[in-house]
Amino acid sequence: DGGITQSPKYLFRKEGQNVTLSCEQNLNHDAMYWYRQDPGQGLRLIYYSQIVNDFQKGDIAEGYSVSREKKESFPLTVTSAQKNPTAFYLCASSIRGSLGSNQPQHFGDGTRLSIL
């Protein structure tokens, strides 16, 4: 079955540590996204990538970094500069679409990050 796999499901970070969240998709989608979800708030876009070797900052990119070396993979690193990293992180992918189109996004089941 095609889909998006996020790992691990739960992750704990010590103060001052960087951690990397994995996101892999086998849907052959060009576009991939990282969101953060906090209680009572909508999903907020961290980074997105429309094509391999290219990515753009979203609305809350500070304290995060990404890479897009392969079409199927879009890992997110939460750095020690992110002062409030405890959240539910969601990865998504979509067909890139032409300019002015709008494509549904397919989501993984998330990684819950907590601070020890």
Partner 1 sequence: SQKIEQNSEALNIQEGKTATLTCNYTNYSPAYLQWYRQDPGRGPVFLLLIRENEKEKRKERLKVTFDTTLKQSLFHITASQPADSATYLCAPSNGYNKLIFGAGTRLAVHP
**Residues in the site for partner 1, rule: CB under 8 A?**
4, 6, 31, 35, 40-45, 48, 50, 90, 92, 94, 96-97, 99-110
Nearer to partner 1, 79 or 103 (CB): 103
Instruction: Report the nearest approach of partner 1 to the CB of residue 41 (Å).
Output: 5
The residue type at 38: D
Rounded least distance, CB 95 to partner 1, Å: 9
Least separation in angstroms between residue 44's CB and partner 1 is: 8
Tokens for 45, please give them.
């876009």
Shortest distance in whole angstroms from residue 78 CB to partner 1: 18
Q: Considering the complex, state which of residue 18 and residue 28 has its C-beta at the smaller distance from partner 1.
A: 28
Contact (Cβ atoms closer than 8 angstroms) between residue 21 and residue 75? yes
Q: Which two tokens stand for residue 63?
A: 């304290």
CB neighbour list of residue 7: distance below 8 Å, 6 or more residues apart: 21, 22, 111
DSSP 30: S
The rounded distance, in Å, linking the Cα atoms of 85 and 96 is: 29
Peptide bond into 104 cis (omega under 30): no
Q: Which is nearer to partner 1, 43 or 79 (CB)?
A: 43
Q: Decide whether 16 or 100 has the Cβ nearer to partner 1.
A: 100
